[in-house]
Amino acid sequence: MTGARGPRPWTSWCWLAFLGLPGLLLYFHYIPDVAGATLRARAFTFATTLTGFAGLFGLAGRLGGRRGVAWAYALLAPLLLVMAGHGLAFQAVPRLASLLFNSGEVKDAHVLRAMVPFVPWAMAGLLAAGAGALAAAGPALRFRAWVGPVLLGAWCCLTALAAWLNPFGRNYLFEGVNVNVRNYGLLATIGYDTLRTWRGGDAQAAARLEEDAGRRPIPRLASAERARHVVILQVESLDWNVLDWKVGARWVVPFLHGLAAEVGPIPAFPNYSSVSGSSGSDFQVLSGYRPVLDLPAYRAAGVDYSRALPRLLAAKGAVLDLFHGNRASFWSREEAVGSMGIHAFHALKDIPCTESTRWGATDRDLFRYVSRWADAQTGPFAAMAITLSSHSPFNLVDSHVFPGSGDVVNYFNVIRYTDTALEEFITGWRVPDTVFVLYGDHPAHVAGDGYRSCPTARDVVPLLVFRKEGEGFRRVALVQQGEGQIELASVHSLVAGLF
């Protein structure tokens, strides 16, 4: 008689393939136009997903047996779900580096609740099925010694090949990681993206900022007017087209629509980078450099901040205080703006919160705090306020002015809340001789029902520079110095010249 036969080798391979399926589902959930991907893209997607996930589980099985696979699965499954919810809610692309880099935000219960509607529940079901299958597999799950290392090695080779085929250059930085996910697969992009983003102190970062500024001079803005006080308002996800958009008979942003009609908005290129996110907007205004790095701009080491806006204003006897409804550590702002010579950084811990929000402080609470601070000042100052309430996923504050659902309607509702908060803040401003500089940090990138964020294929955001005058507003006359389209980086020279 012969003894009972052990598990066949193909059994383990089937388990590995099954455990890799959530990665494929995540890929398809993120990339709606995957059907248009090339054959090479589909091959990369399949190969990198299955080799990466299966290699990880195979290695876990080799090191810890069935229990090791269970532990690896238990750690990876929640990470996949959180990454999916975080990406679809806040980033629109699957960026593990962004999730880990700002992991402090994900620990916030309010942020987690905001992410819940964006979790792909089909993936959650598949992950739960995988957990049940693992529990039922019993001792049948076995792995040959070479399976895990070989598959992980294959994944590394495929990732390197993807990097060689497409060096992840400007397209990677400014047009979105989703292009590379579609063309080279989720795990290949995640691996390369994480390595790039987490390099930290890049010795060449400062040189690249200087090289870009020398090769492509930033158009300057100047004005013959001078002011004792300047208020810089960086409005989250403020679209150009929303200024002149109606739902039925109602303007989406009635205050900003009227303000734009009086003072005339200037189209400005936001230099938005998927690596730096919204922080790249305030970085260029404060530093005078474009955020052209392949790591978050505020993390760049050794940057020459001698011409940073806070230092230029200090030389003229004015202070610059920064206000943000989020944590000071978000995107590593705190240390970097200190190096720029900022007078004080007022963040979430400093702002009394009276309204409910799913993330940070509401725009109304932020503006009330800025107003109280300004009323107490005795000398020249610039105050830079960075709003948060209109951030994706456009559900951070409860605003239901416009009925319906979907990204466009949700965006209209939250930007209407910000519009009301801006109206209260600006019309209630009591400090004389003040110039307001208001702009969007980047477009909301929403489209539907005839609406889209920008009037052209290239991103632009509105820039408004004005004073209060009686019951209305007056545009501050500006002169452009240098060729090219005005950028958010041009605000740096504008504010410096107003004092």
Res 29: pLDDT:
56
Res 184: pLDDT:
60
Res 25: pLDDT:
63
Domains of the chain: 9-197 (no CATH), 205-498 (3.40.720.10)
Res 301: pLDDT:
83
Distance, CA of 323 to CA of 233 (rounded, Å): 10
CB burial of residue 124 (10 Å; 0-12, 13-18, 19+)? middle
Res 110: pLDDT:
66
Classify 247 as helix, strand or coil.
strand
Cβ atoms of 45 and 24 closer than 8 Å: yes
Buried/exposed code over 201-232 (b: 16+ C-beta within 10 A; e: otherwise): ebeebbeebeebbeeeebbbbbeeeebebbbb
Classify 291 as helix, strand or coil.
coil
Classify 468 as helix, strand or coil.
strand
The one-digit pLDDT tens for each residue of the chain (499 residues) are 444 444 454 455 566 566 666 666 665 655 544 445 566 666 666 777 677 777 777 777 777 766 777 777 777 777 777 777 776 666 655 566 666 666 666 666 667 777 777 777 777 777 777 777 776 665 556 666 676 677 777 777 776 666 566 544 444 444 456 666 666 666 666 666 666 665 544 567 888 899 998 999 999 999 999 999 999 999 999 999 999 999 999 999 999 999 999 999 999 999 987 678 889 999 999 999 999 877 788 888 889 999 999 999 999 999 999 999 998 888 889 999 999 999 999 999 999 999 988 888 999 999 999 999 999 999 999 999 999 999 988 989 999 999 988 889 999 999 999 999 999 999 999 999 999 999 999 999 888 889 998 887 678 999 999 999 888 899 999 999 988 899 999 999 999 999 9
The residues that bridge with 382 in the sheet, in sequence order, are 230, 320
Task: Extract the tokens encoding 353.
Answer: 């919160």
Helix (H) or strand (E) holding 436: strand 434-440
Asked whether the CA dihedral 403, 406, 409, 411 is positive or negative, the reply is: positive
